[in-house]
Every structure is written in C-alpha cells, then in structure tokens.
Homo-oligomer: A and B are copies of this chain.
Amino acid sequence: MKPILLHEDRLFPVDEKTRGIARELYQSVRDLPIISPHGHTDPRWFAYDENFGNATELFILPDHYVFRMLYSQGITLEQLGIRRWDGGESEADPRKIWQLFADHYYLFPGTPSRMWLDTVFKNVFGLSDMLCSDNAMDYYEFITAELAKPEYKPRALMDRFNIELIATTEGALDSLTHHGHIKDTGWDKRVITTFRPDDVVDASREDFVTNVAKLGEITGEDTTSWNGYLAALRQRRQFFREHGATATDHGHPTAATADLSVAECESLFSKVLSGDSSAAEQELFRAQMLTELAGMSVEDGMVMQIHPGSFRNHNESLFKKFGRDKGHDIPMQTDYVNALKPLLNKYGNEKNLNIILFTLDETVYARELAPLAGHYPCLKLGPAWWFHDSPEGMLRFRHNVTETAGFYNTVGFNDDTRAFLSIPARHDVARRIDCRFLAQLVVEHRVADWEAAELAQQLSYNLAKNAYNLG
C-alpha cells in the first residue's frame, strides 16, 4: 500500500526561492471563498439536499475523464456500468465497477484526474492510502458509508467547501423548478442558473424543430416566425435572469458569427425550421444567432460565454449505444479572428457587452485570443478549458496570453464540472498554478512582489466576480 500523494507544495516549482514565493502567495488565497461561475452541477442537489449514492455512482459513472482513459485501454463502457441507450446490458454491480477502476488506477499518473481524485479521497474523505486493487473494496465501503452521513449532504459540502456562489447550466426550455425551489428556501444567492440556448439554436440537433415548438408553447410566442422566435428567446432570458442568471453559454462547433439582413434571417429561419436544412445552413444559422444573442446581451447585460471547437460524439458507434458526453468529444482547430468579425463589426465596441471566449485549440492563445482580448473592450478570455484544465494547460494559457492581454483581460477560474466533490480540488490546482506563474515572474524581476500578491487575489476571486457581474 502506498500513501496518497498530496504534498502541501504540490505543483510548485522545485527551486526554493520560487517555491517560497509561490507558497506565500498561495497561503494568501487558498482560503478565499470559491466563485464557480460556470459549471454543470445538478441544481436538484442543492434544492433538495439529499445524500449522494455510492462511490461508483459518484466518481465513475458521471466522469467522462475517468472512463475515457479506461476505455482507451480496452475496458468497455458496459463493464463500467454506463447505461446503454439501446437497452443492452451493462454491469450493474457498483463494487465490480469500482474494483475495475481501482485495478486500472495506474493509468492515471500525470493526469489531472489523478490529482483531483486523490485530493477528494484525502481531503474530503480522509483516506490516506492510494487507491489500488488491494484496497478497492475498503475504499468503496468507506466512501459509500461516509456519503450517507449528514455532513456529506450537498449543502453541508457547499459550506465545507466554502463555495460562495455556484452557477449551473440549463437549456432554454428548462423549467428551472429546482432553482425555484432553492429560491423558496431562502438560499437564492448561492446557486444560480446560466442560459444555454443551444437546444433551440443548433439546427443540427435531432430535436431542434421540436425544441423550437416547445419554446413557443412555453413562452406563448409564435416561434414559427423569426420575430416570435427572437421574442421568445428574450422572454426566456428574462425568466433565467429571475432565477439568478447573469450569463449565457454557447457551445457551438465553431466560433462563426454572421450578420445577415432581416429578410435573410427570416428565410434562413424557415429553412432550418423545415427540418430540411444543409450543414452549411445550420452553421450559418448558429453564426447568425451568436450575433443576435450578442445583441440581446447588449440590451439585457447578460455576459456571453462562447465555448467553440469541440467535435462532439466523434465515435459513431459508441454514440449510438451510449449517447452524448461519453468521453468521445475531440477538439478541433478553431479560428476566431475571421469567425468573430461579423459580430465584432456590429457590437465590438459596445459599452454594455461582455463576451468571454474559450478555446480547445491552444494555438490561438497567443495568435488570436490575446490580441483580440487585448484590443476589444467587449472581449475577455475564459480560463484553460476541458482538456487544458490541467497544470500544464493552465501554465500554457498564462505563458501565452499574459504578455499581450495582461491579467485583467482574463476572468479567473471556471471549474466547469459536474463532479461536485472535486470543485475545491480544481480551484486549488488553479490557485496553485497561478501563484506558481506569478512567483516565476517575481523571481525573474518581471513583476513586483506586491503586484503578485494583488494579482493572486484577482485571479483567485475578484476577476471571476467582476467578469460575471456577480458583485
């Protein structure tokens, strides 16, 4: 049995002088409250405050980082108990699944998943031996027993984790019942929603036409007309704002934007609504909608998040069996400088517009994103995202964007996760890496120690709060 690695100086550079400064900066921010302005936790948890289930349900089934690695080494999703869409059988015994996971825990060194998991095992559950085949069942039983205790209920964990605010993400058609329930319990300041209208904007989805019809039903607008559709969206935005939303989110395949005439919009809208549109028309519609939604943000002040560049569901046969979000989304090359031009031509200099750009294509950090955010007042850069939400990824982000965009055109950290228990671990990695980056600037006499201290505070707390209008 080997101990869990969780050294207090983890992720700091080895050089004593730099490590000392990193450590000091980190000490000054480690206990700051967590602002989690973008993520995918389930509002149900916070609304009804029920205990979580067993270890397997909590740590394996929802974590596509974990099962994509296992799958890449020949373990099937059936063996991991992932439910099949087509009704085929999957492993039902959570213990067997946990044992399989433990048997392959040796695959994870060097990945952020290993660091997040170890942090949770040790800091949340107090475990001290590293997970392995031999202690798998002890782990399983212990965690599962702990999860049944009151102190592991979602709201108790929220307090324990010092989470000041968490934003969930809901589709345009969501009733926001759980958020409503949260509000009714007098807890409304801490869990907010985010408006993600992809389901009624992305005409390549199987359910797009149905969704737009539902949008009409919900809002009482005639969503078969372009104007009615826009009015319905405005109405939903208002409804989301009433449930705390300060931001929207857009997960498009590309960052394409467009600026068509009203007549062109009307015609394109009927085409995509006919259910018989081409891929190019669907892309153009998404592009036009980003511009429309930016216009609505100018009106209502909602912060716009753009998350482009993922080739969703790359593994066709896996998708047919298991559906979305099963670890087979692959990043693509993504252009911003041409793609965003139509939107920026129209709204780029608006005072009341805040767009946060994300990318899965790190080549654009220094080439496109930092120059764009270092010029346009409406643009800021989201943190290193998804595959790049990792120590190396975060370092590359800072090294590549800072010299052109500075720190104040970035927005702090997003955990962007559905793995609630890992949230403190994720923010901790971000704070450590930012302090490490700042410490290097200090020892190389590129920023002053007092500036680094100020910036550590900004990167850990203030920038997120300001960028998302959570002040």
| A interface residues, Cβ below 8 angstroms from B | 2, 5-7, 9-15, 17-18, 68-69, 71-74, 106-112, 115, 130, 311, 314-318, 327-333, 335, 337-338, 341, 344-345, 348-349, 351, 360-363, 366-368, 370-377, 379, 387-388, 390-393, 399-400, 402-409, 440-441, 443-448, 450-451, 454-455
How distant is A76 from chain B, measured CB to nearest CB, in Å?
A: 9
| Closest 7 pairs between A and B when the two form their complex, measured CB to CB | A7-B445, A10-B445, A14-B443, A390-B403, A110-B402, A109-B447, A331-B367
Cα A269 to Cα B377 in complex, Å, equals: 41
Please tell me if the beta carbons of B345 and A366 are within 8 angstroms of each other in the complex.
Answer: no
How distant is A271 from chain B, measured CB to nearest CB, in Å?
A: 25
Please tell me if the beta carbons of B315 and A375 are within 8 angstroms of each other in the complex.
Answer: yes
Please tell me if the beta carbons of A444 and B390 are within 8 angstroms of each other in the complex.
Answer: no
Please tell me if the beta carbons of B73 and A376 are within 8 angstroms of each other in the complex.
Answer: no
Q: Which residues of B contact A337 (CB under 8 A)?
A: 311, 314, 330-332
- Whether A73 contacts B443 in the complex (CB less than 8 A), given A317-B348, A407-B110, comes out as no
Please tell me if the beta carbons of A2 and B450 are within 8 angstroms of each other in the complex.
Answer: yes
- Whether A441 contacts B409 in the complex (CB less than 8 A), given A375-B330, A390-B403, comes out as no
Counting chain B CB atoms within 10 Å of each CB, the highest count among A14, A111, A311, A361 belongs to A14
Cα A5 to Cα B388 in complex, Å, equals: 33
How distant is A28 from chain B, measured CB to nearest CB, in Å?
A: 17
Q: Which residues of B contact A112 (CB under 8 A)?
A: 403
Q: How many copies does the complex hold?
A: 3
Please tell me if the beta carbons of B404 and A315 are within 8 angstroms of each other in the complex.
Answer: no
Query: Which chain B residue lies CB-closest to A432?
Result: B444
How distant is A4 from chain B, measured CB to nearest CB, in Å?
A: 9
How distant is A12 from chain B, measured CB to nearest CB, in Å?
A: 7
- Whether A318 contacts B349 in the complex (CB less than 8 A), given A337-B330, A387-B371, comes out as yes
Counting chain B CB atoms within 10 Å of each CB, the highest count among A2, A72, A327, A450 belongs to A72
Query: Which chain B residue lies CB-closest to A409?
Result: B72
Q: Which residues of B contact A317 (CB under 8 A)?
A: 345, 348-349
Cα A437 to Cα B400 in complex, Å, equals: 18
Please tell me if the beta carbons of B387 and A366 are within 8 angstroms of each other in the complex.
Answer: yes
Q: Which residues of B contact A68 (CB under 8 A)?
A: 374-375
Please tell me if the beta carbons of A345 and B316 are within 8 angstroms of each other in the complex.
Answer: yes
Counting chain B CB atoms within 10 Å of each CB, the highest count among A15, A345, A454 belongs to A15
Cα A106 to Cα B447 in complex, Å, equals: 11
Query: Which chain B residue lies CB-closest to A388?
Result: B366
Q: Which residues of B contact A108 (CB under 8 A)?
A: 406
Cα A379 to Cα B16 in complex, Å, equals: 40
How distant is A186 from chain B, measured CB to nearest CB, in Å?
A: 36
Please tell me if the beta carbons of B390 and A111 are within 8 angstroms of each other in the complex.
Answer: no
Please tell me if the beta carbons of A330 and B366 are within 8 angstroms of each other in the complex.
Answer: no
Cα A110 to Cα B397 in complex, Å, equals: 13
Cα A440 to Cα B14 in complex, Å, equals: 8
Query: Which chain B residue lies CB-closest to A363?
Result: B363
Please tell me if the beta carbons of B111 and A404 are within 8 angstroms of each other in the complex.
Answer: yes
Please tell me if the beta carbons of B12 and A444 are within 8 angstroms of each other in the complex.
Answer: yes
- Whether A315 contacts B373 in the complex (CB less than 8 A), given A110-B441, A110-B447, A367-B363, comes out as no
